[in-house]
Amino acid sequence: MMKTVRINWVVALFALLAGASSVVYGLQDPPPASTPARSGEGCYSTCGGEVPWPFQVSNQAVELSEGERYLLLGKVVIQNNRAYFEVDLIKHAWLSTAKRRQNPRYALEGDTKYWAAYEGKRIRLVSTAQWVVVQDTASHEFRVEVTLSSLTDPAVTSDMPPAPQAHELR
């Protein structure tokens, strides 16, 4: 009995790893090689991100990593008594995932009164990204929200043109 359970467990683990590796490395049937890859094609859309087919569409956009420091350009927006940093997706095209294009805002840690002095102004923000799990009050579903913790006072930058709105990037 013990050998049967151990063998079944090993077979199940092998099957799981074999299936996972085909997903991770994108070994499913790719589109025909004669079809050139264009933006938005050849990608799976899962968890709000884009997973490119290997060798046809490169990883062009990512999300901020937990605990890493970033120098970002954008503007401060206050909505529902909460401060957000609306990242400039033209200057930071590497952050322009499908999900981030729909909502280019990161919640800002700290007092909203502090951030009100920067509302509507284009700033240069030196910050650390933090991932926070929050529960939606209506659907009770959990989601990961990326927040920014400023490391210094933001620098107002008036010499840069404003970033286009998210709908202009599509």
pLDDT in tens, 134-165: 888 888 899 888 999 999 999 998 655 555 65
Domain residues of the chain, as ranges?
A: 2-52, 69-169
* Residues 108, 110, 112, 117, CA torsion sign: negative
How much is the pTM?
Answer: 0.59
Nearest of 100, 146, 104, 153 to residue 124 by alpha carbon: 153
Decide if pLDDT at 126 tops 60: yes
Nearest of 25, 30, 26 to residue 41 by alpha carbon: 30
- 157's tokens: 């930058």
> pLDDT tens digit string along 23-66?
333 334 444 444 444 444 444 444 455 555 555 555 678 889 99
DSSP code of residue 22: H
Element containing residue 76 per DSSP (H, E) = strand 69-79
Backbone angles phi, psi at 42, to 5 degrees: 75, 20
